[in-house]
Structure 1
């Protein structure tokens, strides 16, 4: 079967009624994939007895990733701006490479927000794809970061922004000179294509077209980000060349920005044909990169709360797509202290992803990122709710992604600069020890406590994250296993099995402020409590006692 026929087959399956409509706790309509009788994952259950058929287990070997905005993270030269050398100096905070120590966070991967040269503070309008922003360092600094990270067992992926460039990129500057430009067809000019320069952007509903002299170019995000023309094979070849360049430097993969907007430019482009074109491009891209690095990791930003639009991109395109719907549900469940059939819904989603990808997908759960209000602000400063959100995230399948500062409880609400504030190394965010000051803090002046303070407190949120990550790494079922729902008959408790072919564990989270009790059936296979995140937890005579805001793992 050709790639094109495979994509069409995937889309046909998704459009043939493999989803059922539901309603989330917050009243927003959501979609969840229905259980398929021939899916590789048919292990969701309403009883609290585990499935006995291990042949359906679709394992997801995983790593914990940490998203970093370099400008805000760590400063090496006291100019207030974070840089690559500052990050290198702080690698031991993330993972010191020694599993016998417990002072590091324990992450195994880093996602760098854009580090290419750009006229903007955020870097999502690239002016030189082959260079590093001078504020951050050099290509040699980037190579040293990758070398030092690899020594500690940390993979590095970086944002690759190929949907658009900066208006200051030499390609666009030349393209804008007129129809005779070598790079004219590298961008989308309405008059050149005989199009009317009107239509609402698929990204924000605004005008997608921007005037330049007597012509109009497409820029679906804003005028400073002109869209590249992926119908031009030279553009596609150049983007592959750029990606190969960074893989040759030692990079492990890419987070693909705006992955669905390669061809989905206008509101009228939201259809199956556009999705097919997008997916075919990402399959072409992946195939080319695997010739350089067979195990390249590609994760796409397909910003949809429903899993249905994400699924086609897992068919030979990306390893992972960020699970936006799960992020919303995790925060809602933690904030309301009430389960919403979380595990069974996720199991069905994974059944769809597994079928589409031939079992090759890895989910990418998260709580928040650089485009969203921070977790602690969404949860209104409730540290107990933040602890439970983290506990659920870090016991879920796939590669969990942490947004820098989430582990210390940083606050932040839009605009974007205020959700990307300086990471807090020192009390009061005072200068020294790598502290950045790239923008004044609005939300993190007095709270949360700094890394310096939380490292010394065994009950801090940071210590909670470190413990969770170590527990995850210690059990194959938690690290690499599939998920299966467990019926607790208690709305305040989230329960689910995690399993590999060789191991099965039961995870229980008490979301509430009150103690809870869960009865475990004798034929569940659970014999002992192997982990408890809070004193007072117990498992005896078939009953699990859970203190307020606590988690246990049984085996």
Structure 2
């Protein structure tokens, strides 16, 4: 297997709006991030992934960019960014930027020019179509609900927006647009950044016939995803991007690719494909999805999670590379989702970290995950800020597909704002995030769950993450070893082995609030064992071939 620094790294995602506010306006900013660099160095991470910090009207919290080469006013200035980049590099930490080039803001100068006239030089930098029979060009539903088309009275045509109507899709069929994007990417890398996380990058190539999407019973709009996910020219575009920009630098690239299979992921990440280093997939995040997706959240089975994770581990084992994550800015808090955020918050947070960080792939930590931050259950829809949540509430409740109570429960369980409440630094007002009024309310449990308390407790989740990161740097097998699932059908225990040369790791995780007995299957050979990490006290005389796992217990043994 090819060895690479980005395979050996641990990445920490920062959602700048919610990380640390330096000036009291209630919004996190670049100076706030810079002020916490020592904290991140103490944790031991290698790379910071910054969610978008570019100029934006904030219809979708920065994922609607109006200027790719300037900084959002609320976050600071270009000088603040330069200081952040320099401070990170001085602390041995790289910076990965979010690249959002499936769409721009409707306030971007490109779009303003594009919509000014059908004869505009930038008209086909976006996707414009005449209506059909007095209606939209096709029946596609936007990812944030409603039609994916918006009518423009000036030119009497519709433009495509797979997300908000303020996020018009860029037309990658246009070579001038692509060249402009590559120039912008080069500008950032020359500035000193260390890579890109590419937002919904597998959406950039559309089927230019724009066929009707599949219509399901009770739905107003059709699902057109098969015509824009992994589209006809996607690999051509990414190979061109790689040739023009990525191949010229030693940087990290990860593509957000909803709907990909392991086989497709190999096309994006195979080491001879000249596209990306790794992708984010979402199969494990879809566990429990019902008829209304995550808004009709169903119980999930551990065997389904194991099957999904294993398919990806084995699928990219020889070629390609996995991104390992439980949390990000679009997902609920993992300790609330797959753990127990009440009685066993600390134990289950440590167990979940163990299960993920011992797999093959590059691990991602989302801000607050390292102290066990939890979901928040705001009482009123008015307390939520996320456009996806607000649109879904309006659609599903008004159409009576879900009751208000059902929808609020779903939002509490799976809404994106669970990840976006402010980082909990200490037990002072607003959790030490801001001296002002935070843009979104702080989770009320901040007095119990915060960084200051974690740093004072040697058995905290923080120090457990620190140890996991340290072990990864100490043992090649954690990075490069092959993965094999054991106890496939057990609905309480997730156990697997990692193998490299004559070494083997045995990873054992109890995903339940009940004690359960682990029995080592036949066929796992060893002459000696060493307990690398564990989240409960373990009797040194205890045999690891059969023992009782406590609720949410995790152990990792190194076998030789």
Q: TM-score, normalised by structure 2?
A: 0.77
Classify the secondary structure of the residue corresponding to 1:276.
coil
Distance in 2 (alpha carbons) for counterparts of 1:455 and 1:297:
30
Distance in 2 (alpha carbons) for counterparts of 1:313 and 1:482:
21
Aligned to 1:151: 90
Gaps of 5+ in 1: 1-54, 96-103
Q: After the TM superposition, which residues 297-308 of structure 1 pair with which residues of structure 2 at under 5 Å, given as runs? A: 297-304=252-259, 306-308=261-263
Q: After the TM superposition, which residues 35-434 of structure 1 pair with which residues of structure 2 at under 5 Å, given as runs? A: 61-95=7-41, 104-120=42-58, 122-191=61-130, 197-201=137-141, 203-204=143-144, 206-213=146-153, 214-264=156-206, 267-268=223-224, 270=226, 275-293=231-249, 295-304=250-259, 306-315=261-270, 316=273, 317-327=275-285, 339-340=302-303, 346-354=309-317, 359=319, 361-378=320-337, 379=339, 381-382=341-342, 383=345, 384-412=347-375, 414=411, 416-430=416-430
Alpha carbon RMSD of aligned pairs, Å? 3.5
1:437 deviates by 4.8
Distance in 2 (alpha carbons) for counterparts of 1:472 and 1:173:
48
Classify the secondary structure of the residue corresponding to 1:110.
strand
Aligned to 1:461: 461
Contact 1:409 1:448 in 2 (8 A): no
Quick check: 156-165 or 366-375, which moved more? Answer: 366-375
Classify the secondary structure of the residue corresponding to 1:386.
helix
CA-to-aligned-CA distance 1:468-496 (integer Å, 9 cap, x gap): 22233322211332312234896533222
1:157 deviates by 0.8
Change (3 A) 1:554 1:301: same
For the pair 1:510 / 2:510, whether they are aligned, the reply is yes
Distance in 1 (alpha carbons) for counterparts of 2:522 and 2:507:
15
Gaps of 5+ in 2: 214-222, 290-297, 377-410
Distance in 2 (alpha carbons) for counterparts of 1:443 and 1:380:
17
CA-to-aligned-CA distance 1:200-257 (integer Å, 9 cap, x gap): 1363563111111122111121210111111110111111111111111111111111
Aligned to 2:391: none
Change (3 A) 1:537 1:324: farther
1:444 deviates by 3.7
Distance in 2 (alpha carbons) for counterparts of 1:139 and 1:149:
15
Change (3 A) 1:85 1:339: same
1:454 deviates by 1.4
Aligned to 2:558: 554
Quick check: 373-382 or 118-127, which moved more? Answer: 373-382
1:149 deviates by 1.7
1:350 deviates by 3.8
Classify the secondary structure of the residue corresponding to 1:244.
helix
Change (3 A) 1:522 1:499: closer
1:301 deviates by 0.9
Distance in 2 (alpha carbons) for counterparts of 1:69 and 1:279:
29
Classify the secondary structure of the residue corresponding to 1:135.
helix
Higher relative contact order (CA 8 A, sep 6+): 1
Change (3 A) 1:143 1:521: same
1:509 deviates by 2.2
CA-to-aligned-CA distance 1:451-477 (integer Å, 9 cap, x gap): 111111123322332232223332221
Classify the secondary structure of the residue corresponding to 1:229.
coil
Aligned to 2:387: none
Distance in 2 (alpha carbons) for counterparts of 1:191 and 1:441:
43
Contact 1:75 1:434 in 2 (8 A): yes
Change (3 A) 1:60 1:147: closer
Classify the secondary structure of the residue corresponding to 1:324.
coil
Q: TM-score, normalised by structure 1?
A: 0.78
Distance in 2 (alpha carbons) for counterparts of 1:338 and 1:215:
47
CA-to-aligned-CA distance 1:478-532 (integer Å, 9 cap, x gap): 1332312234896533222223346432222233432634336586125122313
1:553 deviates by 1.7
Contact 1:57 1:500 in 2 (8 A): no
1:297 deviates by 1.5
